Copies of this chain bind each other. A is one copy, B any other.
Amino acid sequence: MPNPIKRTVFFISDGTGLTVEALGHSLLTQFEDIEFKQIRIPFLDSIEQAQNAVSHINAQGEADGMRPIIFTTLVDQSLAAIVHQADAFCLSYFDTYLAPLEAELGVKSSHTVGRSHGTADSSDYKKRIEAINYTLAHDDGITDNGLEEADVILVAVSRCGKTPTSLYLAMQFGLKAANFPLIPEDFDRGRLPGTLERHRSKLFGLTIQPERLHQIREERRAGSKYAALPNCRFEVAEAEKMMRREGIRWLDSSTKSIEEISTTILQELKLR
């Protein structure tokens, strides 16, 4: 096997750089045979910082023996112009798309540095923080109080991903997401816990492959009945039976990321 090709990639932004990094990453995953060293330069907002970035990039290029690749979303044209002087291959998102978009919309862009995540005093932002607090206070069936405020209530047997998914829904979308465990007592009784019946339209279920559940539970309580494969099979089958009977929509979380699960829930419950 020859050595893999190595290239250094810089993500440069006047904000956090999270968006340009996500975007660059989605392109880079298309080149599996290349090893990318990734460096983020966030909050670049002065001429001095832009010049420092250029020095950093050029030094890296010398060390690599290959010019680096830059992904940038710099809005300020004078800063962007400095970064473009680096000896690098530069993909500049605003340069590419702003002019065609201005032409389509028939207006000039404001060229202001965006606050794409919202400022701490915006109402959207407050809503997100409130949603996080709500979600923490309604994790794992801690309380039935205030369920009428919930945007969504997740139900699943223990260790299907209810908590991370709830937190993601709150953090990313500002949704108040409660979650309740389905436990053997619920299956014995053959119906939903009473408090949940009243909020049926907000319910969404998660399920999982029993083998995967067994593996996850073993990591927490090795050798327990809770983690044993026959018990995992039983709980999953009972939970799916209950959800089917009660008309609760659900999805299998086994191979899905929390982003994928959350986006699917949004679509299914028509939450946006």
Q: Which A residues fall within an 8 A CB radius of B?
A: 5, 7, 15-19, 22-23, 25-27, 29-34, 40, 42-43, 69, 73, 75, 89, 91, 93-94, 96-98, 100-101, 104-107, 109-112, 114-121, 125, 128-129, 132-133, 136, 139, 161, 163-164, 167-168, 171-172, 212, 253-260, 262-264, 267, 272
CB distance from A76 to the nearest CB of B (A): 12
A43-B263, A132-B164, A163-B136 as given contacts; A27 in contact with B257, CB under 8 Å? no
B25 and A112 form a contact (CB under 8 A): no
Q: How far is the CB of A108 from chain B (nearest CB, A)?
A: 9
Copies of this chain per assembly: 2
Complex contacts, A254 vs chain B, CB 8 Å? 120
Closest B residue to A164 using CB positions: B132
In the bound complex, do residue B167 and residue A132 qualify as a contact, i.e. CB atoms below 8 Å apart? yes
Known: A27-B94, A91-B100. 19 other contacts (CB 8 A): A15-B260, A18-B22, A19-B19, A23-B23, A25-B116, A26-B93, A27-B93, A29-B112, A30-B75, A31-B101, A31-B109, A33-B107, A40-B272, A42-B263, A43-B260, A69-B101, A96-B97, A117-B258, A120-B254
Q: Is there contact, CB below 8 Å, between A93 and B257?
A: no
Q: Lowest 3 CB-CB distances: which A-B pairs, in order?
A: A30-B109, A117-B257, A16-B263
